[in-house]
Structure 1
């Protein structure tokens, strides 16, 4: 009997145990060998590159096929409104939680100015930035993960066009459904290499960035990691409970381990899309919801980035001896976090848009403030991505609860 239970446990959690094993071994290697772990970094890069290569067709097929398979009685406009409402609510809650933390445990001056290479900042008008965010001027450019919002918009339009085509578009709809299934199978194969890939990535993160955690940035980083851990455990549990009561709590914490580890290991919301979709399928979230919420959430929904924006602002204010407690300053910070959540890219350490926006809005000198903000952004990336990416999964549960009713879990089991 005990053997049967043990074998059943191994069968159910085999992939998670292998993933944990890879991460633990990688972390130990990073601690022991330090900079020497750069030798195995290519293993992590290969895994991540395979994921990124598959992400573009995955997002296209999941969104387009989901829209194309909608029935006429399914109100997409209403569903989209619920999704945006849930995204915005969690981003604002996360920002308020972090604001309360930095006010209770203020960050003081004492930051060492580090000289690091800054990204080229291209100045352009607001209209031009919006155009570049939502569209591309040639088809091949939509195949880049740096243009995720443009890809999502295009996928929506393809799905709508297929839906409107009716009987004439039937064969194309089959193509979208078939492509969706093929991409799922491809990603299942790629995820089998995750223990090695993520293990190598963890080794690199611990070996290269670990020592910096004990420098001048220890307090803001410690505060950020503590508050994010609290938010992850407590508030994600509250969100899951809202979505499905005690049963919602159970299915969330049972199925979010692989997405959580993938997010921490890759530091990319986009790379976590496959694990999130697989977890949503195991949780029996309706596909027309998960295929909308999760790909859309990767570039648009970022609780972790919202919280990191607040910490970066607090660090910059501390550097220049400015007061962070002014109500206008706090409201502006919340506004910045909302904008950052929408426009910041899903690639690792990508864009630094939030840092540049905050520095510009508050009028701090870019050459002094940006390096500190960039260092904070790099060092908080793992847990920020955890909240960004794993938040999409719990948001999919809440959207299902609002749109399908409170009995959606029991109905899916039946």
Structure 2
């Protein structure tokens, strides 16, 4: 009896989360578009997360950098982080290409007459400037400036590190702020069952019926390949990172981040759950506090796979051959760019679609709506791989940085 109570206490958060999501899904199926009335509950939860995410990212990154003792260790960590992120993005893209080649998309795709977003043209240099920096300090506090905020947080951490004894008080402030923001997010996550339940109800009620239209085959292919990648390749990554114990500790602690990613469709909103999960997976603080916040906007296995399927759908629309080697090389290049520049906002940004359509020379008016529909419908699974991939990548980074015995040493300590 006591064991069952202890088990419920350990997994109570996950159980309540599952109950909320299940209830929301049932409401969505039963009432359809009528569930829009409870959508504000999901919006409130997500807005609370987003308002807390900005200071969390600042404090976690800045305090982590400021607490490092050796700059050589920091430089090595960055190289490993970028190497792991890039490797998994390329592996996921190649796997989706193989899936498309094995199960070609030949069917006609219905071109939906949905309104197009206005696309502002800007020079390449201007776009890079806007991506990496902000015009004023207050603009750093916007989710649209997430990459600029991360760069600014790194610089603050470096400045604190270089300030020596005179900066000790500020470093204490950063560490204290990091702890306060973690506690705030812990409080917000208490409302997750209601918030995520409302979001699931809305997604099932509004988008569910569209899954049975002309997009069924590419969507089915995408979800099948992604599910295979999620189960098989994430298991391989975890096994490489920590052996059998790594496999066990990963799958035992990634449920909450996975459900949060599915419910919010946002890598950024999943950062708190990822940080908590990676801590339970014994990933060192100096690694998880850099890899997780940095991975949210920059590391996107799911987006790389969705980029491939969207390009394949566009080629099928116009009767073009997607399997040409030069086409595939360009597609892989696009996925890498998309992984870097695509934001963590739910269903946000169609940079990858616009880039692909422009490079391949397809008519924007016809190709973009189809790509937008596919992008919207694959977003939950894409976010799952994007966000959950950050956690397993943190384990891989630890394996490379700390050696193959990092997990066994931590568990026996």
TM-score of Structure 1 vs Structure 2, range by shorter chain:
over 0.9
Cα RMSD for the two superposed structures: 0.7
- Segments of structure 2 that go 5 or more residues without pairing to the other structure are none
Is the deviation greater in 66-75 or in 140-149?
A: 66-75
What is the distance in 2 between the residues matched to 1:383 and 1:146? 22
Question: Alignment partner for residue 367 of structure 2, among 341, 366, 369?
Answer: 369
Residues paired across the two proteins, number: 412
Distance 1:326 1:101 in 2: 15
| 1:393 and 2:391 are equivalent in the alignment | yes
Aligned counterpart in structure 1 of residue 408 of structure 2, from 401, 407, 410: 410
Separation of aligned partners in 2, 1:183 and 1:241: 32
Answering whether residue 37 of structure 2 is matched by residue 54 of structure 1, we say no
> Would you say the 8 A contact 1:133–1:149 is kept in 2?
yes
Instruction: Name the structure 2 match of 1:72.
Output: 70
- 2:249 is matched with which residue? 251
Q: SS state of the match for residue 242, structure 1?
A: helix
Quick one: distance in 1 between partners of 2:67 and 2:329? 41
Question: TM-score, length-normalised on structure 2?
Answer: 0.99
Where in structure 1 are there 5+ consecutive unaligned residues?
none
Q: Which residue in the other structure is 2:348 paired with? A: 350
Corresponding residue number in structure 2 for 1:155: 153
Provide the rounded CA distance (Å) in 2 between the counterparts of 1:78 and 1:57: 26
Aligned-pair CA distance for 1:5: 2.0
Q: Work out the CA distance in 2 between the residues paired with 1:58 and 1:307.
A: 29
Checking the alignment, whether the CA contact within 8 Å between 1:285 and 1:397 is kept in structure 2 is yes
Number of the residue aligned with 1:103: 101
Q: Which runs of 4+ in 1 moved over 2 A?
A: none
User: C-alpha distance in 2, partners of 1:247/1:74?
Assistant: 30
Q: Determine which of 98, 113, 119 is the counterpart of 2:117.
A: 119
Q: CA deviation at 1:351?
A: 1.1
Listed as ranges, the matches of 1:199-210 within 5 Å are: 199-210=197-208
Write out aligned runs for 1:124-135 (5 A): 124-135=122-133
Instruction: Identify which of 292, 297, 300 aligns with 2:298.
Output: 300
**Counterpart Cα distance in 2 of 1:304 and 1:169:** 40
Q: Contact 1:64/1:158 (CA < 8 Å) preserved in 2?
A: yes
Preserved contact between residue 109 and residue 321 of structure 1 (Cα < 8 Å): no
Question: Which of 319, 322, 328 is 2:320 aligned to?
Answer: 322
Give 3-state SS (helix, strand or coil) of 1:193's partner: helix
For 1:7 and 1:131, the matched residues in 2 are separated by: 55
CA gap of 1:148–1:169, structure 2 versus 1, over 3 A, is same
Q: Which moved more, 1:106-115 or 1:60-69?
A: 106-115
